[in-house]
Structure 1
Amino acid sequence: MRASLVQIDVNEAESVDDRRARVAALVRAQRGADLVVLPELWNLGGFAYDAWQPGAEPLDGPTAEAMSAAAKEANVWLHAGSMVERDPDGPLFNTSLLFAPDGELHAVYRKIHRFGFDSGEAALMAAGQEVCVVDTPFGRMGLATCYDLRFPELFRAMLDRGAELFVVPAAWPARRAEHWALLARARAVEEQALVLACNTAGTHGGVPQAGRSVVVDPWGAVLAEANGGESGSSEEVLTVDLDPSVVARTREEFPVLRDRQKW
């Protein structure tokens, strides 16, 4: 399979409509890939808190519509990162959307772990309640978002539901870039799975983003990594060819998961 992670520069000088159109064009340009992955909250900004309430959308809103059309035109599976979803009953959610190549919405994941402790996302959004693992041509895919990466119990729950690869969109800040790199590798090694983690670039809400979108194999080897770090990041498309069967081979060759004890 060929995967393209699109590390989008979220620049506050660009309108949401312009960025949506630009990102749709970037997705269409990945025709020939099998899977395209976008970052977390790329349309509004992961730290642009004031934009969330007015910019929130339903699941059939303009962002979902544009991403569905782009996936269909490019004939790719598209993990469209996440958006601020407005539930019909009122709450906001940080919601990830996975589209099939025919443009149909294949899966929805509402972020379970909200960052900010007593402020930011933790105060402004409701928590998702459902672990999300879905069938794809590349194997069972587990969906997580940004701060979720710090909670191994979520990844074990996805493993127990058959996950073989994890897709993790993020808006991870530059000041904790090393945590991002370390945790992506840790989750891959722990679950003996592929990890495709796509971060934002640029600065939004006054917070520089780490970039360093990364693909990690079940042994923890970094197969591809985009630019970025504590010094900042810029937009980049990271494309890598993967063999999903490496997951089953690794689990057979080094059967550590058989020794797992459940307390």
Structure 2
Amino acid sequence: MRASLIQIAVDPDESVDSRRRRAASLVRAQAGADLVVLPELWPVGAFAYESFATEAEPLEGPTYEAMAKAASDAGVWLHAGSIVERDAEGLLYNTSLVFSPTGELARAYRKIHRFGFDKGEAVLMAAGTELVTVPLPAATLGLATCYDLRFPELFRGLVDAGADVLVIAAGWPERRRAHWTLLARARAVENQCYVLAVGCSGTHAGVPQAGHSLVVDPWGEVLAEAGPDEETLTVDLDPTKPAETRDQFPALKDRVLGLPTPG
């Protein structure tokens, strides 16, 4: 299974419409891949909190339309990163969109863990409540977004739901880049899954982005890693490797569930 990770640059001087067209062009350039992945909130910028309300769009808004068309044109499964979604009640969500090669929406995932510690995203956006997996012909994707990466129980739930490729779309800051790499590898090792961790480059509202998107195999080996600038990583994944890893080192079978709360 060929996966292409597009580490797109977010430039505050580039309009959202222009970046949307550019992202669609980058997706079309990956025709021949099986799966293409974009980062978190690339239309507006993950830290551009003051723009969330003005740039919010309905689920089937302009980004949805552009990405559906790009997926269909390229003939790829497309994780289109995430958008600021405004629902019918006016609530905002950090929502990821996954399209099939025919351009139909396969699944949407609303980010569960909102970053900000009682400010920023944590107060501007509502929290999602559902774990989301997406069955592809060769693998099952488990979806997560940025800050979700710090919460291993979410990924255990995705594995229990059948995921063997964990996709993390992010707008991760440069100042915590060491955590980004460490946690992506940890999620791969503990869940014996591939991890596709896709970040942005550039600067979001004065916050330099980490870049360094990476692909990690189920043993924790980094198969490919981007630099700090806009870049596309393309890696061929062996879809049998998660199951083989779990057979060779069956640690997941030794999980102990339902432990009592300490007294």
Q: TM-score range, shorter-chain basis?
A: over 0.9
Q: Secondary structure at the match of 1:196?
A: strand
1:3 and 1:160 mapped to 2: Cα distance? 23
1:39 and 1:187 mapped to 2: Cα distance? 18
1:147-186 paired onto structure 2 within 5 Å:
147-186=147-186
Residue matched to 2:234:
239
1:112 and 1:9 mapped to 2: Cα distance? 25
1:262 pairs, out of 236, 239, 257, with 257
1:9-158 paired onto structure 2 within 5 Å:
9-158=9-158
Deviation at 1:134, TM superposition (A): 2.2
Answering whether residue 212 of structure 2 is matched by residue 217 of structure 1, we say no
Deviation at 1:250, TM superposition (A): 0.4
Q: Secondary structure at the match of 1:25?
A: helix
1:235 and 1:63 mapped to 2: Cα distance? 20
Deviation at 1:138, TM superposition (A): 2.6
2:40 and 2:140 mapped to 1: Cα distance? 21
Aligned length: 258
1:223 and 1:127 mapped to 2: Cα distance? 32
Deviation at 1:34, TM superposition (A): 0.7
2:93 and 2:171 mapped to 1: Cα distance? 15
User: TM-score, normalising length from structure 1?
Assistant: 0.97
Any stretches of 5+ residues in structure 2 without a counterpart?
A: 259-263
CA-to-aligned-CA distance 1:85-108 (integer Å, 9 cap, x gap):
001111100000000000000010
Deviation at 1:137, TM superposition (A): 1.4
Residue matched to 1:187:
187
1:214 and 1:127 mapped to 2: Cα distance? 26
1:136 and 1:31 mapped to 2: Cα distance? 17
2:122 and 2:257 mapped to 1: Cα distance? 30
Deviation at 1:116, TM superposition (A): 0.3
Q: Which piece of structure 1 moves more, 210-219 or 158-167?
A: 158-167
Residue matched to 2:248:
253
- RMSD of aligned Cα (Å): 0.6
2:5 and 2:116 mapped to 1: Cα distance? 26
Identity of aligned residues (%): 66
Deviation at 1:160, TM superposition (A): 1.1
AA at the equivalent of 1:258 = K
AA at the equivalent of 1:241 = D
Residue matched to 1:4:
4
Deviation at 1:139, TM superposition (A): 1.5
2:238 and 2:67 mapped to 1: Cα distance? 26
Any stretches of 5+ residues in structure 1 without a counterpart?
A: 228-232
Deviation at 1:37, TM superposition (A): 0.2
1:127 and 1:25 mapped to 2: Cα distance? 31
1:124 and 1:93 mapped to 2: Cα distance? 9
Q: Secondary structure at the match of 2:10?
A: strand
Moved over 4 A (4+): none
Deviation at 1:190, TM superposition (A): 0.6
User: TM-score, normalising length from structure 2?
Assistant: 0.97
AA at the equivalent of 2:251 = V
